[in-house]
Amino acid sequence: AMTLAAATRRWSVSRDDWTLIKTIARYALVGYVMGVTNDLADARGTLLPDHYAPLPDIGFDYVPHVPELATLPDHLIKLLFIVVFLRIFLASRARRQLAALFLEQHMLLMLLRSLTVALTILPAPAPTCSYRVSAKPAHFLLEPLLRMLRPDGLSSWCNDMLYSGHAMFFVLGALFINESG
């Protein structure tokens, strides 16, 4: 029979495990903060007069809009996230430290993006940007969670185009895959 002390030692959490658990909790909080600032940008974007033109964007100008591909960047982000974590867990002994390091670096970039998005409201560049929040959403703190749960939730923000979260993640993921091995 296993004693209570032996069972406790068997299920004890290491310092690296606690570090990773705390990092994941902070990551979720920072992701929520970014969602709130994205919603703030959309809400404030409804206050922009219609005569403001979006900034020129080569992608929107020359690449035809294909509705079936609208969520492709979100799927590529998910795929890159899986690749990064497979790289961490298959190729390294310092798995927990590397996972925490990646999440911490992404958190810092998300916080910078949140600050930038909240301070610079731009007209939505895509004519297909249909999801709008009112200037004063009824459930301001709940709205980001509801949006993130939708299938197209990460693609639904419209007025946050100055600091690309997709480009930020692609660059960070590529750097991390290249440098972590």
Whether pLDDT at 177 is above 90 = no
The reported pLDDT for the residue numbered 106 is 92
Per-residue pLDDT, 29: 92
Q: What is the pLDDT of residue 131?
A: 52
Q: Is the predicted pLDDT of residue 149 greater than 90, yes or no?
A: no
Residue type, 96: R
The beta-carbon contacts of 33-36 under 8 Å, at least 24 apart in sequence, are 33/110, 33/111, 33/114, 34/110, 34/111, 34/113, 34/114, 34/117, 34/165, 35/144, 35/145, 35/147, 35/148, 36/114, 36/140, 36/141, 36/144
Q: What DSSP character marks residue 63?
A: S
pTM of the model: 0.74
**Bigger pLDDT: 102 vs 41:** 102
CA dihedral 145→122→134→30, nearest 10 degrees, is 20
| Per-residue pLDDT reduced to its tens digit, 94-148 | 888 888 888 999 999 999 998 888 788 777 766 656 555 554 556 667 777 776 6
**Highest mean predicted confidence (pLDDT) among 19-28, 82-91, 139-148:** 19-28
d(CA 180, CA 176): 6
